[in-house]
């Protein structure tokens, strides 16, 4: 059952990215081009997508405290660490530089694989490198990260 829920959630997420145009790297680069604001070339669509995501998560956290366990699954996985350390900052900077240069991040790249006609090879290389990085990270980590706790476990 969990695989079906994951498939549906991933499909809805990918559809949202596609409908909003976030699978188009040029749309992202147009958002990051603040110099184009006076000429009308700046595209605020990404800000709307971010605001929508923040709104959904705010509602989720609001209701999270009112239920003891998830409807599907055994427990919630919530972050427990609140400190800002060097690996967090370094990872954020690397991600931001890559995103700003390429105009694409992991979610839209995976969604774009199903619709890309022009830059399919670029997206495939990106997703392949992403998968390799994930595999290498998993191989170097022997246990689950200490920054995630299980809350609301079912008996």
Give the tokens for residue 118.
């022009």
Q: Rounded to two decimals, what is the model's pTM?
A: 0.68
Question: pLDDT tens digits, residue range 77-91?
Answer: 888 888 999 988 998
Q: Please state the rounded mean pLDDT for residues 108-113.
A: 83
**Mean pLDDT within 130-139:** 86
The domain limits of the chain are 2-151
Provide the residue count of the chain: 155
What token pair was written down for 89? 């900052």
Q: How far apart are CA 138 and CA 132, in angstroms?
A: 10
Integer Cα distance of 51 and 20 in angstroms: 13
DSSP 154: -
- What is residue 155's predicted lDDT score, i.e. its pLDDT? 47
Give me the phi and psi of 119, to 5 degrees please.
-110, 35
């Amino acid at each position: 059952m969990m695989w079906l829920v994951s498939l549906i959630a991933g499909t809805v997420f990918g559809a949202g990215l596609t409908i909003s145009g976030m699978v188009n790297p040029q749309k992202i680069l147009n958002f990051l081009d603040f110099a184009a604001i006076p000429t009308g070339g700046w595209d605020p669509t990404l800000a709307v997508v971010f605001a929508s995501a923040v709104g959904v998560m705010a509602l989720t956290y609001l209701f999270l405290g009112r239920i003891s366990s998830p409807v599907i699954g055994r427990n919630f996985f919530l972050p427990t660490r609140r400190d800002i350390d060097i690996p967090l900052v370094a990872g954020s900077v690397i991600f931001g530089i890559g995103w700003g240069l390429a105009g694409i991040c992991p979610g839209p790249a995976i969604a774009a694989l199903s619709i890309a006609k022009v830059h399919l090879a670029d997206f495939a290389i990106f997703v392949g490198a992403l998968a390799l990085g994930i595999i290498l990270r998993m191989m170097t980590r022997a246990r689950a990260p200490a920054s995630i706790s299980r809350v609301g476990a079912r008996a």
